[in-house]
Structure 1
């Protein structure tokens, strides 16, 4: 992997506003494993701010450490098995930890509280910050009501989550969103356009592939790659069916899949693969250091994203989409609105919910080296437009206006 985009070789531009002491609160991922949070924190440090990230503590992680200028303070969380009861317990523990530690940061001099969702229920700490004359940033990663519905089905709790989202949006001095669908959501809920900034997920310019490297000819043993969480909304339980279709309908019984990531669906997915006689065709790496991801992507022929077509996914931008583009790899996805907006013509799209069509696109790419190369070249061209450094400018500018 080589550098690309020399215009971004320097450090982040300093904002014209004052330097802030920022307390970032994170519940649903560890730090620095959360790519978006890591990029934001490092960019804000480079822009002259002091950043502390309060996040869950993983195994073998230090309670407190400084990583690339960012102070990470971690707390323990119970491990949720995926059920609603376990999730509520996790959230209850997280809220106690985050509120206590957030208040400690405010009383120690933090001038900005930066709330990462989900959940959307951290806004009371933002109200305390505003009462103390501090600033509040709401970082809208996911549509929490739709995410809840994906996992647990319709529930009266959706109304509570919708109200919490509204409170989070309206109580913030600045709202940061991942795409224009989320911006439209914020505007529809009464947030002033001047307070909303689109800060897309994207790879750093230095991590982009220098060229499209691929195995030649038609592939009888395509190497497939998936990066990300293994949760119901990510569509990963379709992998046994897709691999079976490649074997039974396209003669690609030697196809192999590498899964980089983890989540609540891993155990049931492993069982389903074993039941289908496909366990030896899939390698699970678990979570790996982010610096290793580009190298793993370079080993693959075709990247896949089987995220289901629903309201939440249509409005969400997956980090993996930009990572696939940055690796210069052809990718297959369902025709999800924000995935298409992100990748444009640099990916192949199957009709929503059509597993047979999804598998057919993989087989088509495996047999057509020119098409693979064309998509790879389009991917690199599109990735250069989506590198983190473009988003960094929007982020730092948003802080300069606080």
Structure 2
């Protein structure tokens, strides 16, 4: 049974909407079940640039935001700007008509602050924990738990305390919420991120994308310090010593982009590795349809071991075999659709890529397993049931 429809306000700081596909799927599910949905999010740079727009019945309010750079001061500026605009927009929306639910999507774990205004007027708060921010901090900047780490734990705790219901992206995140967050298990729901399978349709392979080589290798996703693209480059340098019948394409961008391009050049991989930056969805599908093997080089660290990687889910949706490091949630997502190297072992990672390139039957079988998983037990159809249950729980008795 779904919750009685009302007005939901979804607050996002990390990405624009609908570019944030998880958030957009949630919005579409809610509107499809009678909810009136509004979103507060930053503006994009090349897309999602309008300040106010209605898309498929969802009213989106966007504000200008410059992503952090230059260390802690950059994040202070980014988050301060985001909180000011979010508070301003919540006041405007609440003045027009009170909302029943404020749906907070982290990072950062600061969004509970502007949400307190709505909570004081009777709104229920749902915390949709996309990232474990303390672990994200350790994975990007520090190996030891310093004062900044504990400050982030305090903000996470405050967000848990403010929320009436917590949504986790997987069981590992749910265990954090019920463990250190002390959230009652009945107030937690697992809404796994899942690709919209209707978007991921195979195109006719284009061998020219492999630049004259027999095989195309693909990476798709963000390129931050914690995402392991540097591990992929080192693995490809090892792979080149074994064989040269491949070309690799890295699709995406991030604050480690320039560093990994320089690393590829330092290894002399200019002729075998291409970096496209962020490209249109159709071009992504063309590359993935041609790929022999897809790369998930996320190293084991406090965040990655317990996080669901969207890239793995999207690779599976396209029926591509995956090479990953052996992480807890990577196995939960991919199962036998991937092969797993010892964590952070680039030589073994390269060896597994080579093994798959020599075994087309195995690649095809792994691809079929992946498609079955994202179309079945890991599909958005199952996730949206949990989303609606979370809303019902949050609004029960309102």
User: Aligned ranges for residues 296-307 of structure 1 at < 5 Å?
Assistant: 296-307=287-298
Task: Please name the residue that 2:223 is paired with.
Answer: 230
Structure 2 CA distance, aligned partners of 1:38 and 1:342? 21
Task: Please name the residue that 1:152 is paired with.
Answer: 141
Task: Please name the residue that 1:30 is paired with.
Answer: 16
Partner deviation per Cα, 1:281-320 (whole Å, 9 max, x = no partner)? 2333322344654443212111101001012111111111
C-alpha deviation, 1:127, in angstroms: 2.7
Match of 2:82 among 63, 69, 94: 94
Residues 30 and 279 (structure 1 numbering): CA distance in 2 closer, same or farther, change over 3 Å? Answer: farther
Larger mean Cα displacement after TM superposition, 138-147 or 101-110: 101-110
User: Aligned ranges for residues 94-173 of structure 1 at < 5 Å?
Assistant: 94-109=82-97, 110-153=99-142, 154=144, 155-173=146-164
Q: Are positions 1:68 and 2:59 aligned together? A: no
Moved over 3 A (4+): 207-215, 288-296
Match of 1:382 among 364, 373, 385: 373
Match of 1:365 among 356, 359, 376: 356
Task: Please name the residue that 1:6 is paired with.
Answer: none
Q: Are positions 1:244 and 2:233 aligned together? A: no
Question: Normalising to structure 2: TM-score of the pair?
Answer: 0.91
Task: Please list every run of 5 or more consecutive structure 2 residues that lacks an aligned counterpart in the other structure.
Answer: none
C-alpha deviation, 1:82, in angstroms: 5.7
SS at 1:206's partner residue? coil
Task: Please list every run of 5 or more consecutive structure 1 residues that lacks an aligned counterpart in the other structure.
Answer: 1-14
Match of 1:39 among 11, 17, 25: 25
Task: Please name the residue that 1:12 is paired with.
Answer: none
SS at 2:34's partner residue? coil
Structure 1 CA distance, aligned partners of 2:76 and 2:117? 24
C-alpha deviation, 1:21, in angstroms: 1.4
Structure 1 CA distance, aligned partners of 2:267 and 2:201? 35
Larger mean Cα displacement after TM superposition, 368-377 or 287-296: 287-296
Conservation of the 8 A alpha-carbon contact between 1:204 and 1:389: no
C-alpha deviation, 1:241, in angstroms: 1.4
Residues 42 and 224 (structure 1 numbering): CA distance in 2 closer, same or farther, change over 3 Å? Answer: same
Larger mean Cα displacement after TM superposition, 77-86 or 195-204: 77-86
Task: Please name the residue that 2:186 is paired with.
Answer: 194
Residues 151 and 171 (structure 1 numbering): CA distance in 2 closer, same or farther, change over 3 Å? Answer: same
Partner deviation per Cα, 1:45-94 (whole Å, 9 max, x = no partner)? 11111111111112241111122222221111123236232122211111
Partner deviation per Cα, 1:346-401 (whole Å, 9 max, x = no partner)? 10000001000000000110111111112112111222221112101111222133
Q: CA RMSD in A?
A: 2.2
Residues 263 and 211 (structure 1 numbering): CA distance in 2 closer, same or farther, change over 3 Å? Answer: closer
Task: Please name the residue that 1:50 is paired with.
Answer: 36
Task: Please name the residue that 1:5 is paired with.
Answer: none
SS at 1:383's partner residue? helix
Q: Report how many aligned residue pairs link the two structures.
A: 383
Task: Please name the residue that 1:266 is paired with.
Answer: 257
